[in-house]
């Protein structure tokens, strides 16, 4: 596959700088119906909120319609001074994309809310209103190539010797699985090994994918990590990159080409759930001993709704893998396009921990309401926040990443 360039650098810059104002026409088309705040009751036959930020804070300003008005007012220079409250309103958006999912089929509002709100965050950053927590992890990414203030050289300490090869697909572990949820990275490589898939890692050349930067309006800083990672992957000659991180998946697959002005990358990016689904379909992986488990599945926004906009949503593949393993999935009312966000995205977990935890707690309650005690998901950041909510609730709930169940089944 060949990399295809579509824009020169100065063109990209111009496009980026005009981005928020480019939406001005669309801002006039939001008539504040608030359908963006409620899950699709036609398909669910239930009345359930879908925007965590609006549900938690309550003020109109925190709804998608409210933020659209703030964006319009900024573009039209009705607001010159960004108040701390405006920064709170804009940066507390988890960027889950649920608003756009509800709006896009029904109304005349044609722009993507998630993109608008990320551009809005960038606009605030450019005006000097980046949040201290976000500035902090950006600095850590710059210095350590991860947002966790961890030493870069410790990135692959989790990797057992002898598993990774010098050939085959690239496994992109991501920061959260490398430093915080290492069981996910370990399980994924064990599964690759069990399936006889040769893989390699980028070792010191794997830097943060840039997702925390992109999701908090620090786009310029993400470009360097994007360039570096793309070059590092290209150097390996690998044609496929696998990642078990939903955030990395979206960034590598969808954001990198846009950031770098490319139509496509020289390699394919797949989420581990997609990769193992292919192996199952091809008969290369079989599960002789089924796992006896009943669980619900939580759709991460980054591989679900977001990819529904930028490519193909990854809703069915994780479920297929779980079903093949023998897991009995009991769906929560809000699933797939209507999934309730775990609350950790968009820089919210670091900057607004109480709100973030509340959002995850709501998801745990929803899981509990369908009579299960186990949540499986496909994102290390979702795992982290849902686990935090479970610990906060003190309930005997279990939260797993898909890779952990898969690895167990392949033993």
Q: Does 29 bind another protein (CB under 8 A)?
A: yes
Task: Using CB under 8 A, pick the residue from 50, 51, 55, 89 that binds another protein.
Answer: 89
Interaction mask 240-269, another protein, x per CB under 8 A:
------------------------------
Q: How far apart are CA 265 and CA 281, in angstroms?
A: 26
Q: Does 354 bind another protein (CB under 8 A)?
A: no
Which span sits near another protein by CB under 8 A: 19-27, 118-126, 220-228, 278-286? Answer: 19-27
Which span sits near another protein by CB under 8 A: 37-45, 222-230, 290-298, 387-395? Answer: 37-45
Which span sits near another protein by CB under 8 A: 65-73, 250-258, 263-271, 306-314? Answer: 65-73
CB 197 within 8 A of CB 164: no
Shortest Cβ 45–another protein spacing (Å): 8
Shortest Cβ 307–another protein spacing (Å): 24
Nearer to another protein, 50 or 383 (CB): 50
Q: Does 290 bind another protein (CB under 8 A)?
A: no
Q: Does 18 bind another protein (CB under 8 A)?
A: no
Q: Does 5 bind another protein (CB under 8 A)?
A: no
Segments in 147-294 forming alpha helices (H): 175, 182-194, 211-214, 219-236, 246-250, 256-259, 272-281
Q: Does 127 bind another protein (CB under 8 A)?
A: no
Q: Does 93 bind another protein (CB under 8 A)?
A: no
Task: Using CB under 8 A, pick the residue from 69, 205, 224, 323 that binds another protein.
Answer: 69
Which span sits near another protein by CB under 8 A: 53-61, 147-155, 179-187, 364-372? Answer: 53-61
Sequence-distant (6+) residues with CB within 8 A of 352 are 88, 91, 92
Residue 119: which region, alpha, beta or left (left: phi > 0; alpha: psi -120 to 50)?
Answer: alpha
Q: Does 59 bind another protein (CB under 8 A)?
A: yes
Q: How many residues bind another protein (CB under 8 A)?
A: 38
Q: How far apart are CA 131 and CA 64, in angstroms?
A: 20
Q: How far apart are CA 305 and CA 335, in angstroms?
A: 11
Sequence-distant (6+) residues with CB within 8 A of 201 are 156, 159, 164, 170, 171, 172, 173
Could you tell me the two tokens for 233? Answer: 């992957």
Sign of the CA dihedral running 257, 153, 346, 21? negative
Which span sits near another protein by CB under 8 A: 14-22, 33-41, 312-320, 398-406? Answer: 33-41
Which span sits near another protein by CB under 8 A: 23-31, 206-214, 259-267, 274-282? Answer: 23-31
From first CA to last CA, the distance across the chain in angstroms is 34
Nearer to another protein, 4 or 18 (CB): 18
Q: How far apart are CA 209 and CA 196, in angstroms?
A: 27
Q: Does 22 bind another protein (CB under 8 A)?
A: no
Which span sits near another protein by CB under 8 A: 76-84, 113-121, 191-199, 214-222? Answer: 76-84
Nearer to another protein, 93 or 192 (CB): 93
Nearer to another protein, 10 or 81 (CB): 81
Nearer to another protein, 180 or 336 (CB): 336
Q: Does 46 bind another protein (CB under 8 A)?
A: yes
Could you tell me the strand order of the sheet in which 327-329 lies?
327-329, 293-298, 374-377, 398-401
Nearer to another protein, 46 or 165 (CB): 46
Q: Does 149 bind another protein (CB under 8 A)?
A: no
SS3 212: helix
What stretches of 1-69 adopt beta strand conformation (E)? 4-5
Q: How far apart are CA 174 and CA 245, in angstroms?
A: 6
The DSSP secondary-structure symbol of 177 reads: I
Chain centroid offset of residue 63 CA: 20
CB 302 within 8 A of CB 292: no
Nearer to another protein, 79 or 262 (CB): 79
Query: Which residues within the stretch 363-382 sit at the binding site for another protein (CB under 8 A)?
Result: none
Beta strands 199-200 and 169-172 are: parallel
Choose among 54, 69, 56, 44: nearest CA to 99: 54
Which span sits near another protein by CB under 8 A: 79-87, 139-147, 210-218, 339-347? Answer: 79-87
Contact set with another protein (CB under 8 A): 24-29, 31-35, 37-38, 40-42, 46-47, 58-61, 63, 65-66, 69-70, 73, 78-79, 83, 85-86, 89, 106-109
């Amino acid at each position: 596959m060949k990399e295809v360039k579509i824009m020169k650098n100065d063109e990209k810059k111009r496009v980026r700088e005009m981005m928020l104002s480019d939406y001005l026409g669309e801002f006039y088309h939001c008539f504040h119906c608030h359908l963006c705040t409620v899950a699709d009751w036609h398909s669910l036959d239930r009345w359930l909120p879908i925007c965590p930020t609006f549900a938690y804070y309550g003020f109109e300003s925190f709804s998608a319609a409210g933020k659209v008005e703030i964006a319009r007012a900024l573009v039209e220079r009705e607001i010159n001074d960004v108040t701390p409250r405006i920064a709170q309103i804009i940066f507390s958006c988890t960027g889950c994309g649920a608003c756009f999912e509800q709006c896009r089929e029904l109304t005349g509002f044609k722009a993507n809310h998630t993109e608008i709100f990320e551009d809005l965050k960038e606009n605030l950053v450019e005006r000097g209103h980046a949040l201290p927590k976000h500035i902090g992890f950006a600095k850590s990414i710059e210095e350590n190539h991860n947002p966790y203030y961890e030493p870069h050289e410790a990135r692959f300490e989790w990797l057992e010797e002898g598993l990774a090869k010098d050939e085959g697909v690239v496994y992109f572990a991501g920061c959260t699985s490398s430093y915080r949820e290492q069981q996910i990275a370990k399980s994924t490589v064990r599964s690759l090994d069990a399936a006889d898939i040769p893989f390699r890692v980028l070792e010191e050349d794997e830097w943060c994918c840039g997702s925390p930067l992109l999701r908090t309006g620090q786009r310029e800083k993400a470009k360097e990590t994007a360039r570096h990672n793309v070059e590092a992957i290209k150097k390996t000659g690998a044609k496929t990159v696998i990642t078990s991180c939903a955030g990395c998946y979206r960034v590598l697959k969808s954001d990198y080409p846009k950031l770098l002005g490319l139509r496509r990358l020289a390699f394919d990016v797949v989420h581990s759930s997609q990769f193992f689904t292919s192996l199952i379909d091809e008969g290369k992986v079989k599960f002789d001993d089924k796992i006896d488990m009943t669980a619900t599945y939580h759709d991460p926004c980054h591989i679900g709704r977001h990819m529904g906009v930028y490519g193909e949503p990854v809703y069915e593949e994780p479920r297929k893998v779980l079903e093949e393993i023998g897991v009995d999935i009991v769906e929560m009312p809000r699933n797939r396009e209507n999934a309730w966000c775990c609350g950790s995205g968009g820089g919210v977990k670091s900057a607004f921990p109480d709100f973030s935890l509340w959002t995850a707690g709501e998801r745990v309650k929803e899981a509990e309401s369908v009579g299960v005690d186990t949540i499986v998901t496909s994102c290390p950041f979702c795992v982290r926040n849902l686990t935090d909510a479970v610990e906060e609730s003190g309930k005997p709930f279990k939260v797993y990443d898909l890779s952990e169940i898969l690895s167990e089944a392949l033993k």
